Amino acid sequence: MDCKSIILIFYLVTLVLSGRDFYKILGVDKSTSKKDIKRAYRKLAMKFHPDKNPDDTEAADKFKEIGDAYETLADDDKRATYNKHGEEGVKKMGQGGGHDPFANFFGHFGFGGQEEQQREHKGSDVNVNLFVTLEELYLGSFVTITRNKPVYKESGGTRQCRCRMEMKTHATGPGSFQMTQHRVCDQCPGVKLVTEQEEIELEIEPGMVNGMQQKFTGKGEPHMEGEHGDLIFKVQTHRHDRFERQGDDLYCNVTVSLQEALNGFELNIPHLDNHLVKVKRDKITWPGATIMKKGEGMANFENRHKLGNLYITFDVKFPRGELSGEDRKSIMKIINMSSVQTVYNGL
Domain 1-93 and domain 244-321, same fold? Reply is: no
- Sequence spans of domains, the chain: 1-93, 244-321
Strand segments, DSSP code E, in 205-241 are: 213-216, 231-237
What pLDDT, on the 0 to 100 scale, is given for residue 9? Answer: 54
DSSP designation for 273? T
Residues 293/312, Cβ–Cβ less than 8 Å: yes
CA within 13 Å, CB half, 106: 10
Thinking of the domain 244-321, which architecture would CATH place it in? Sandwich (2.60)
3-class SS at 84?
helix
What pLDDT, on the 0 to 100 scale, is given for residue 120? Answer: 66
Phi, psi of 106 (to 5 degrees): -70, -25
Contacts of 146 (CB under 8 A, 6+ apart): 197, 198, 199, 200
pLDDT tens digit at each of 347 positions of the chain: 555 555 555 545 554 455 789 899 999 888 888 878 887 887 888 788 777 788 888 888 888 898 888 888 988 888 888 888 888 888 877 554 434 443 333 333 333 333 444 456 788 899 999 999 999 999 999 888 898 888 888 888 888 877 888 877 777 777 777 778 888 888 888 888 888 888 888 889 899 999 998 888 888 888 877 788 899 999 999 999 999 999 999 999 999 999 999 999 999 999 999 999 999 999 999 999 999 999 999 999 888 889 999 999 999 999 888 888 888 888 888 888 888 888 888 77
Q: Residue type for 133, please?
A: T
Q: Residue 330 is inside which H or E element, if any?
A: helix 325-335
Q: Residue 72 is inside which H or E element, if any?
A: helix 57-73
- Distance CA(272)–CA(137), nearest Å, equals 9
Closest CA to 243 of 347, 137, 131: 137
- Distance CA(29)–CA(252), nearest Å, equals 46
3-class SS at 218?
coil
Checking phi first, is residue 297 left (phi over 0); if not, alpha (psi -120 to 50) or beta?
beta
- Distance CA(173)–CA(52), nearest Å, equals 69
Burial of 171 (0-12, 13-18, 19+ CB in 10 A): exposed
Contacts of 247 (CB under 8 A, 6+ apart): 209, 308
Closest CA to 209 of 241, 248, 242, 240: 248
CATH topology of domain 1-93: Helix Hairpins (1.10.287)
For 235-253, letters b (16+ CB in 10 Å) and e give bebeeeeebebeebbbbbe
CB atoms within 10 A of CB 44: 20
Burial of 203 (0-12, 13-18, 19+ CB in 10 A): middle
- Distance CA(221)–CA(126), nearest Å, equals 7
